[in-house]
């Protein structure tokens, strides 16, 4: 397993919340947002379990909508608890990144 995959495993939920913080979306579009954000391609077998986990935790709300000439899509959006969790985790993440960066500095 490469380094990026290991790191992503630990922060995928936070990144999905961040993607949904930009507005509601369906799975494929969320994957595109994550890829555009520099996280690389996220397989459905990785993304959809994360979305289900976040939904079960009450951080994400989902509903099905008819597609325009295609199949129905499940749209996801942050719940109020999800928005609060994103704000809190973002602050914690900033501190964590600063600490890791400081540890990696070569004297």
Q: What is the pLDDT of residue 1?
A: 58
Q: What is the pLDDT of residue 81?
A: 97
Tokens of 24: 């509601």
Q: What is the pLDDT of residue 68?
A: 78
Helices (H), 1-107: 3-20, 27-34, 44-56, 80-104
- 76 within 8 A of 27, measured Cβ to Cβ: yes
Burial class (CB in 10 A: 0-12, 13-18, 19+), 83: middle
* pTM (predicted TM-score): 0.88
Q: Which long-range contacts (CB under 8 A, 24 or more apart) does 50-58 make?
A: 50/12, 50/13, 50/16, 51/16, 51/27, 51/76, 53/13, 54/13, 54/16, 54/17, 54/82, 58/82
Per-residue pLDDT of the chain (107 residues; tens, 9 = 90+): 588 888 888 899 999 999 999 999 999 999 999 999 999 899 999 999 999 999 999 999 999 998 778 888 999 999 999 999 999 999 999 999 999 999 998 87
The domains found in the chain, sorted by start residue, are: 3-101 (1.10.10.10)
Q: What is the pLDDT of residue 64?
A: 94
Identify the helix (H) or strand (E) that includes residue 22: none
Q: What is the pLDDT of residue 7?
A: 84
């Amino acid at each position: 397993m490469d380094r990026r995959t290991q790191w992503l495993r630990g922060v995928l939920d936070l990144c999905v919340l961040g993607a949904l913080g930009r507005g509601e979306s369906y799975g494929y579009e969320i994957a595109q947002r994550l890829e555009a954000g520099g996280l690389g391609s996220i397989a459905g077998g990785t993304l959809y379990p994360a979305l289900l986990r976040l939904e079960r935790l009450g951080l994400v709300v989902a509903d099905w909508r008819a597609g325009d000439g295609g199949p129905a899509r499940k749209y996801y959006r942050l719940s109020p608890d999800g928005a609060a969790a994103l704000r809190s985790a973002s602050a914690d993440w900033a501190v964590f990144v600063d600490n890791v960066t400081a540890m990696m500095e070569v004297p």
